[in-house]
Structure 1
Amino acid sequence: MYPLKFEHIYVNKVWGGRNLESFREDLPEGKIGESWEVACRKDVVSIISNGKYKGMSLDKLILKESDAILGTKISNKHFPLLIKFLDAQSKLSIQVHPNDFYALQNENDLGKTEAWVVLDAQENASMVLGVKDCSPDGFKEALEKGDLEPYLNRISVKKGDVYFIQSGLIHTMEGVLVAEIQQNSDTTYRVYDYNRGRELHIKKAMDVIDFSIHAKKASGLCIHKEGYEKTYYCYDHNFSLEKYKIEGSCIEKSDKERFYIFICIDGEGLIRYSNGIEEIRKGDTVFIPAGLGAYTLDGNFTLLKAYVPNIEKLEKEILGEIKYLSDC
């Protein structure tokens, strides 16, 4: 096994832009709103772009080398994660995602919990994360009148901000470039789309909006080590999100039970493993197979790490690291 890279999958969106050109040279024409970095769905599957398996789709490699790729605790029936970059230069629709139960009943798909990491932001960048001073009846009435803004919890955001977005949370964003880590679902219910003519899903959205939840900026738990620092941002049974800031080297080891995904958001460096070296730079996403073994992260760069955790094991790891706790 070796660290896998994938071809970029670009998606035009009415709210997209050209900011992915800050670290990409292959951007097609148009308003590019999304780059799907790691995808394994019936409709969209990532194609490996490096090494022995170059040109093979991820789903076929999983069939060929299931445990060595995914790990012994990750089912090969449904790939659990979807990794994207989003360039939201104008407003996304005001939207919500269902939980697993509702999505399985109504869409034959999983729900969608996600995390956003702001990679760049305009001066007036903002997000809506939940509602304020609003009951379901009040929200529906405001929606019918076309006057939602007073009831939206709109906040200013900046580069480096991290938000964990539970299913059921009403949300949108504008003026940001983000990395998105999410459940492997593409189910979105729009409640308002700024009169752009796309389909709305008001009945289903009202079914799933949780008016009691809000998202707060994740401050993270930061641990300093020799040559790097590691920040634990958020986790649940769907995924864990961590950040590595490498200024030297960091020795890691794959987990036979699960795969890891690294997203490089700044700088450049190397992944050294038993059979070779893989370069990594800003904008690259690298899949660490469960069977890779020991590897070293060398260079001056910043990585996001996403994976489906063993929660008990992760919490023990965090407790064991608290003695190193300090501000990053």
Structure 2
Amino acid sequence: MIYTPLKLQPCYKEYLWGGTRLKTEYNKVDAPDATAESWELADHRDGASVVAEGQYKGCTLSQLSEQNKMAFWGTDCKRETFPVMVKLIDAQKKLSIQVHPSDITARAAFGEQGKAEMWYIVDCEPHAGIYYGFSRRITSDEFLRRAQDGSICEVLNWVPVSKGDVFYIMPGTIHAIGAGIVIAEIQQNSNTTFRVYDYQRKGADGKTRPLHLERAAEVINFDPVIPEECRINSGAEFEDFSIREMFSCSYFRAYRVDVHRRIELKCDGCSFQHILCVEGSGQILHEDKQYPILRGQSYFMPAALGEYQIIGDCRILLSRV
């Protein structure tokens, strides 16, 4: 079989806090007018990205694995389900206060999955920020009271953010994305979220969105958190490019690649690579063929792809297992 870079068509999600920036600024021309999330790399029952063109057009990641799992996903992908999800998020309004379970605290029998995630701040308005963990230890009773009376934010850390910041959100950490932020989220392949507080907002049906306080209280970490931006590895800096590891954990690895002219990369059979352009534009070169990539677009690079290059002037987020 011949393996090539595979451009992906994302799955779009419309939520009441979404905006228009993904459509107008990140080349999502087919997205709904108000789009909250673009699932760039996803193979989940709640949504899947598909190959946009070529011989595998319309195929999901699961369907690619049916052709040859090791060649497409890589030998390090041991699970039956695809391990990683990558999203672009446009938070025009603030998101709900929420928490995710770990693999240990999730109820697998009910379809729950652990969700660890990393945030890269693609862009943000002045004074934008995130809620990140408790500022002091609280009890379960205080948590439930504050979630019900709307005072929960009083005991959370408010963290101002800047473009290029990176944060890792551990399972069990209470958190929320503030308004005016575009985020690239790299995470476990999970959509398990327990909503704690939603500012009394009403959905399209005119009803307030449901909360999940009982389950949240069972998985949440009530200890205080000292919020810190992830320290990006100094990496390799050359005239034509730089590459830095943003974060590494047992679920995924993520790198920031700044291409000034050209970089040579390789898929060595161990893992797929996912390429998401967050700034500028460029070309992916493989076997003498060029594949254009613009801001907001992404490609799935099969594990068996071998060597390829990226040329241009762009910032790429590269993720793999």
Contact 2:159 2:227 in 1 (8 A): no
The equivalent residue for 1:168 is 172
The equivalent residue for 1:315 is none
Q: Distance in 2 between matches of 1:106 and 1:152?
A: 31
Which segment drifts farther, 191-200 or 17-26? 17-26
The equivalent residue for 2:15 is 13
Contact 1:6 1:38 in 2 (8 A): yes
Q: Which segments of 5 or more consecutive residues in structure 2 lack a partner in the other structure?
A: 202-207
Could you say what the CA RMSD is over the residues aligned between the two structures, in angstroms?
1.6
The equivalent residue for 1:115 is 118
1:149-188 equivalences under 5 Å are 149-174=153-178, 175-188=180-193
What TM-score, normalized by structure 1, do the two folds share? 0.89
Letter in 2 for 1:187: T
Contact 1:259 1:290 in 2 (8 A): yes
User: Deviations 1:113-165 (Å, cap 9, x if unpaired)?
Assistant: 00111111112311001011231243333223321122010111121111111
Quote the offset at 1:210 in angstroms.
1.2
Quote the offset at 1:102 in angstroms.
1.9
Q: Distance in 1 between matches of 2:46 and 2:146?
A: 36
The equivalent residue for 2:134 is 131
Report % sequence identity: 33
Q: Distance in 2 between matches of 1:303 and 1:93?
A: 29
User: Deviations 1:60-111 (Å, cap 9, x if unpaired)?
Assistant: 1211121110012213611001111111111111000000122244632320
Q: Distance in 2 between matches of 1:94 and 1:100?
A: 21
Q: Which segments of 5 or more consecutive residues in structure 1 lack a partner in the other structure?
A: 309-328
* 2:214 aligned with 1:211: no
How many residue pairs end up in the alignment?
308
Q: Distance in 1 between matches of 2:227 and 2:267?
A: 31
Contact 1:15 1:92 in 2 (8 A): yes
Q: Which of these residues, 66, 86, 89, is aligned with residue 86 of structure 1?
A: 89
Q: Distance in 1 between matches of 2:144 and 2:112?
A: 26
* 2:106 aligned with 1:95: no
Q: Distance in 1 between matches of 2:298 and 2:28?
A: 15
Runs of 4+ in 1 over 6 A off after TM superposition: none
Q: Distance in 2 between matches of 1:47 and 1:241?
A: 21
